[in-house]
Structure 1
Amino acid sequence: MHTDRPVFVVGCPRSGTTMLQLMLHSHPRIAVPPETRFLVPAYFSRRAYGDMRLADNRRKLATWIAEGRTTKFHELGLSRPDFVQAAMLGPGSFGSVIGMVFKSYAERFGKPRWGDKRPSYYRHVEMLMRMFPDAQFVHLVRDGRDCVASLKQMPWYKADAVHAMANWAEAIDFGRRHARKLPADSFYELRYEDLTADPETELKKLCVFIGEDYDPGMCEPRHMAELAVPKHKVWHSNTHEEVTTAHSGKWASRLEPWEISLCEEVLGERLTAYGYELSGARKADREHVAAFKAAAAKRRAARLRKYNRDRLTRLREPGPIAALLTEGQRRLAGLPQQRSAELIPR
């Protein structure tokens, strides 16, 4: 029996999450759009839109999603008026309005199931579970040294290599926490290196997790890159090529000796736990280790401030949060099964 549970792809930036997005999008039943950038800011601003049981409030939120300058809605190929109308006619919960975007995107491709990809979602799994309580998460892990080396080359990454190391460590630590806390059918981890070395085997295992039949087209994600990767994202040019292992291990020539030393000292336990061999680099300088600890502490403090603000918001949030779009979501809310044409007006 097929499922309609949402699938979220998470991981440290430059871990191969866009490749995995395209692999999932190549499945005949699943649609995963390019990064949309509206879900997290909408959630943290939810009080401003009021109770989603009121159609006018759903219209306000949907209009911001469709017309906001930072939401990337225009990259989805959807009709703004049709989406706003669908949100107004849909279920009265915050998650339903958000989920309606992805449901509409999936329907554009004639697919019954949707996913979403954004690396930083690893920090927001609890938030996503509030909106989509039947969600499944796929955490893609890549050698931290390669992530750091790749982040250094990105035009949009303004921080330094030390902060990139702290970013990878944070992603790994969150992944371990989610693996402990979430049910086995809700959280799944795989390594980028395994996925690129033997995509068929790894994708078959992933399909078992998400409850779908494997499709050979998933091994050829480049065919979907033209449709699902915005042309301005030139840093995703590799997605237009065949899946390859050629991008693994480049850290050895791209990182400075002191960066390799620092990576292996402060990330060593995490690297070896995921099967990555250390090079035996010399011990890192104390000032570099101190800089890493400061960067990691800064990230923790920022997360804690945001978490505490949201705990207060939860005491005063104006209406239902959980989506009511999938069979699992409706079952958890005690609602009857829906008819296939119930949500989107024809």
Structure 2
Amino acid sequence: MESTGAEMSGARAVPPLFIGGCGRSGTTLAVDLLGMHPVLSPVYETGFVLEVAQLLFSSGGLSAFMVADQIERLMSHWSRDLPHRPHNKKEYERYWHGAHYVLFDRDTAMAATGTLIEDLITAEPQAGFRRFVTGLFADHARRDGKPAWINKTPLYVLHLPLLKHLFPAMKFIHCTRDPRDAVPSMLSRRWGQHQTVDEGASFWQSCIEAARAFAARWPTDHVETRFEDLVTQPETEIARILQALGLEDCSADMLSRFRDRVRFDSGRIASLERDPAVSARIEAIAGPTMIPLGYR
């Protein structure tokens, strides 16, 4: 039987673990914290996963050779500065593993790309893609001295059926945040500054609805966590997530080591100032979706 990408940890197979959610909802904090687990190596944002998947499986009438050329160009560009990657974190945003954490290098990425292209032309692309992703992430985990990985990319939340098809054993951790905080934070970033408040609120709602649809179909493969809970009660929240993932509860030790380097600023949530007009507009659009999440 073909591997589904699970990594072995002792006698237990750890399935592919993906984190996603609307931007500015705590996906980096979640992967950073969970990456403190002795089994899990955190792989930060890897947008190439979705981009390569879309080229392979949604490229319409393009020939295999044209797809291969685009994949090679994409990966050459994405990997050019590895293991360094650009990020948009603010000065106050501190993480144990840093603002970005991808440990495989350019040579490794391009060698894996070459193998993927050979698979695309001579074999079954779905299996080749799975080997491509899990091979790179396994290399990252090996360099980190850990047996398994957990990967975050916010936009995974909008492509969950595709991910589940490609990685049948996967589990998904969905990060949420009050849209009255998440949306203004998105709009303050370079990548979100051209959106309106209405567009930001609608995008937040789309992310929540996509995650909820996945949860309804695969309830045992979905874990939801609120940014507010990760910040204000991290021990309880991390223990709950680990239990849902079937991993040993090392939350006390994980948080102890995390706090040696990073200070939790739980007061920052309470001190956030909201523009009443902006909040009212977000509530008008996303209100029915907010309430089940406890955002009133």
Shared fold, TM over 0.5: yes
Runs (5+) with no aligned partner, structure 2: 1-10, 85-101, 120-126
Pick from 194, 209, 231 the counterpart of residue 196 of structure 1.
Answer: 231
Higher Rg of the two aligned structures:
1
Residue 80 of structure 1 deviates from its aligned partner by 3.4
> Aligned partners of 1:49, 1:96: CA distance in 2, in Å?
21
What amino acid maps onto 2:288 in structure 1? E
> Aligned partners of 1:218, 1:114: CA distance in 2, in Å?
16
> Aligned partners of 1:79, 1:11: CA distance in 2, in Å?
27
Superposition TM-score, scaled by structure 2 size: 0.75
Task: Tell whether 2:175 aligns with 1:140.
Answer: yes
Residue 98 of structure 1 deviates from its aligned partner by 2.0
Task: Tell whether 2:248 aligns with 1:213.
Answer: yes
Task: Tell whether 2:33 aligns with 1:12.
Answer: no
Decide whether aligned partners of structure 1 residues 163 and 61 sit closer, same or farther in structure 2, where only a CA change above 3 A counts: closer
Contact 1:122 1:175 (8 Å CA) reproduced: yes
Superposition TM-score, scaled by structure 1 size: 0.65
Contact 2:41 2:141 (8 Å CA) reproduced: yes
Residue of structure 2 in register with 1:180 after alignment: 216
Residue 31 of structure 1 deviates from its aligned partner by 1.2
What amino acid maps onto 1:11 in structure 2? G
Decide whether aligned partners of structure 1 residues 152 and 82 sit closer, same or farther in structure 2, where only a CA change above 3 A counts: closer
Decide whether aligned partners of structure 1 residues 112 and 152 sit closer, same or farther in structure 2, where only a CA change above 3 A counts: same
Residue 254 of structure 1 deviates from its aligned partner by 3.2
Pick from 108, 123, 132 the counterpart of residue 158 of structure 2.
Answer: 123
Deviations 1:142-191 (A, max 9, x none): 1111101212322332212221111111111112211111141x111121
1:1-346 equivalent positions in 2, closer than 5 A: 1-46=11-56, 50=64, 64=73, 67-69=76-78, 73-75=82-84, 76-85=102-111, 93-158=128-193, 159-184=195-220, 186-215=221-250, 216-219=252-255, 241-250=262-271, 253-255=273-275, 257-277=276-296
What amino acid maps onto 1:212 in structure 2? L
What amino acid maps onto 1:67 in structure 2? S
Q: Aligned with 2:12: secondary structure?
A: coil
What amino acid maps onto 2:39 in structure 1? R
Q: Aligned with 2:138: secondary structure?
A: helix
Residue of structure 2 in register with 1:331 after alignment: none
Question: Once superposed, what is the RMSD of the aligned Cα atoms?
Answer: 2.9
Decide whether aligned partners of structure 1 residues 9 and 221 sit closer, same or farther in structure 2, where only a CA change above 3 A counts: farther
Contact 1:22 1:221 (8 Å CA) reproduced: no
> Aligned partners of 1:61, 1:261: CA distance in 2, in Å?
44
Decide whether aligned partners of structure 1 residues 152 and 80 sit closer, same or farther in structure 2, where only a CA change above 3 A counts: closer
How many correspondences in the alignment? 252
> Aligned partners of 2:75, 2:151: CA distance in 1, in Å?
17
Contact 2:198 2:285 (8 Å CA) reproduced: no
